[in-house]
A and B are shown apart, each in its own frame.
Chain A
């Protein structure tokens, strides 16, 4: 892609190389029996290598690559979400439609840049048609619960995630050809905030934000993570159309939303009695365990940029 400087693509790999070196030294010092935290850390870093590599490859393939990558992320997330919810045999065709029609159609709307239908297809048309199909089928057992879970599944896994590739089609004056950097900014700040919250929480965490939902989320971790991620966002302003101050403010907002996304995801997992969404990525649980914060942050980030920076 034009306008993409090599350092931007290589920087994440440099950070990961540093992280792997640190983990390697720690493991070597721990000897034959490294503790569970260290094993988990190594697994997480290895999974990051895979994720960063996949994202870089997708970016090198341009818009189609990015759309395909996020369509796959939607597929994995949708599969995890539906697996955890209550479904009945009579839902079979609606569920097939979610995977076979709704998902490809939403990403086709991204590909054709059909913004009008892209924003209402799932929240309006699927919202009305899917319960109608379920009602026509005639099985009323736990009806509201089933249609609500189906709607949530496609909103979370398809609608919200599909806003990431649509960032490529925003027309920002003076930023032409570099739209993919908006995705890099979004992912680096939001995912960085997750990691920083985890680190600050491990180091200083005492007061829990919501003990009923997630025992690992503390005020110390949240504040430390948000402040440092905002500073990271401000530093990244060079790759964005924002000034450093704007970049810091946007980063703060999307990282706060990302935190709320993680909190909601934890509440759903707790309600369903599971620890992780799935088993896709070794050491990370499922796709939604990684993407929950991105899900909440992306549509808002998209709207902020669209209303304030595009023509």
Chain B
């Protein structure tokens, strides 16, 4: 019985992933721009800017199907674990990795959870800003997670990915997407230097991700005063 259940879940998971990728393509005509890295089956951590629930669907739609099947997004347990339905969507259908963001009353260590996923051979999608960016700033400061992951699992490539326009397609609080063209720009892998400390590396990773924005002049904050 439980075996049947597992097969059913695996099938539903694969179907969800394929359907979401197809929907993302139809709505956004998404095109990946591999400027610094090429698609490969190497184990990777993709880190991206975050302003919409659609972000990780768009990013995974850009990956080759085999790679997509083993790439899991890191999501906040306080949001996605709140109700049974959300947990079902996040964990069972989207194979997300739920981590507890707030350090108070934490039962599990987020770093340990992510390291375990990497050790099982899967790739990760991570949004180092820690939450969806609702400000006019193009990118919020990074949390430490990617530094810890990169230093503890140096064989995993850390790839910056700039997601363009998705926050306009599906803004926070809306559930119907407006069809707009989106692109995902994949940059060159980045790794901490031997003597690079945490803040310096996070600032550099932040800088590298911002540099990938193909149309920096179209950001709302900078355009308003032009």
Contact = CB atoms under 8 A, between A and B. Distances in A.
Nearest to A273: B217
A142 B226 CA distance: 13
B165 A83 contact: yes
A262 B215 CA distance: 23
Nearest to B171: A89
Given A92-B171, A278-B29, A83 B215 contact: no
B179 A79 contact: yes
Interface string B152-181: 000000000000010010010010101111
A99 B215 contact: no
Q: Give chain A's interface secondary structure class.
A: helix
A18 B105 CA distance: 73
Contact of A82 (B176, B180, B215): B180
A80 B181 CA distance: 7
Contacts of A95: 178
A280 interface: yes
B171 A82 contact: no
A278 B29 CA distance: 9
Given A87-B168, A273-B217, A82 B178 contact: yes
Contacts of A89: 171
B29 A96 contact: no
A279 to B, nearest CB: 5
Given A86-B223, A273-B215, A273-B217, A279 B181 contact: yes
A282 to B, nearest CB: 10
A119 to B, nearest CB: 26
B12 to A, nearest CB: 28
A75 interface: yes
B180 A83 contact: yes
Interface residues of A, number: 23
Given A86-B223, A89-B171, A92-B171, A278 B181 contact: yes
Contacts of A280: 29
Contact of A99 (B179, B181, B217, B224): B179
A274 B217 CA distance: 11
Given A86-B223, A278-B29, A279-B31, A79 B180 contact: yes
Contacts of B223: 86
Interface string B201-226: 00000000000000101101001100
Contact of B178 (A75, A86, A96, A142): A96
Interface string A69-88: 00000011011101100111
A86 B31 CA distance: 21
B149 to A, nearest CB: 32
Nearest to B183: A279
Contacts of A75: 179
Nearest to B217: A273
Interface of B: 29, 31, 165, 168, 171, 174, 176, 178-181, 183, 215, 217-218, 220, 223-224
15 contacts: A76-B29, A78-B179, A82-B178, A82-B180, A87-B168, A92-B174, A95-B178, A96-B176, A99-B179, A142-B224, A272-B218, A279-B29, A279-B181, A279-B183, A280-B29
The 5 A-B pairs of least Cβ separation, nearest first, read A83-B181, A95-B178, A83-B180, A89-B171, A79-B179
Given A96-B176, A99-B178, A286-B181, 19 more contacts: A76-B29, A79-B180, A79-B181, A82-B180, A83-B165, A83-B180, A83-B181, A86-B220, A88-B220, A92-B178, A95-B178, A96-B178, A99-B179, A142-B224, A272-B218, A279-B29, A279-B31, A279-B183, A280-B29
